[in-house]
Chains A and B, each alone.
Chain A
């Protein structure tokens, strides 16, 4: 079974802090994604990566950056956290040629 883990289930940060969210997968999938989930809005894609050191902007990249130095790890960075970034963050992976995304358990981030 694919296992996707996220570094924290719950996180509370102050406005202006730099925040790192980590995602690690153990199935050698090429593709990794970061989404945020908000009530009534579903999942919105922030960034994705098709390979190591490669990244592409999704629909809502403003205020975020990502890093993929190793195939199994995809990090989401909030350079200066703001209250409107309070949300559930979901990491997902996808094997090349497949269609089914595998999701981590999510990180619920609160910015105060």
Chain B
């Protein structure tokens, strides 16, 4: 069975600094990997996905993620954080129509 781990419950960064939200996965076969974001009192919104091809995936709001097969990781990154990026971020892995979500990482960007 596949699983996703987000090792950090909370990430704090200063506005303008780069941010990284970590995700590792365990799956047999080729994974489909996703990042979703949840703003306060709202449902999850799709940010980006890796299905195949280039290991660096670009998504919404300036976010990107790098698929690293050898380290089984799919970390979310942004070169310059905004206060409005503060939200709850979920990594997910899908295999054979079975999608698993991580526990979530709360990102706080301070002015």
Residues of chain A whose beta carbon lies under 8 Å from any beta carbon of chain B: 4, 9, 35, 40-45, 90, 92, 99-106
Q: What are 29 contact pairs spanning A and B, CB under 8 A?
A: A4-B43, A35-B101, A40-B9, A40-B103, A41-B103, A42-B4, A42-B101, A42-B102, A42-B103, A42-B104, A43-B44, A43-B90, A43-B101, A45-B99, A99-B32, A99-B34, A99-B49, A99-B94, A100-B34, A100-B46, A100-B49, A103-B44, A103-B45, A104-B43, A105-B41, A105-B42, A105-B43, A106-B41, A106-B43
Number of B interface residues in the complex (CB < 8 A): 21
- Chain A CB within 8 A of B51 CB: yes
When the two chains form their complex, are residues A102 and B46 in contact, meaning their CB atoms are under 8 A apart?
Answer: yes
Residues of chain B whose beta carbon lies under 8 Å from any beta carbon of chain A: 4, 6, 9, 32, 34, 36, 41-46, 49, 51, 90, 94, 99, 101-104
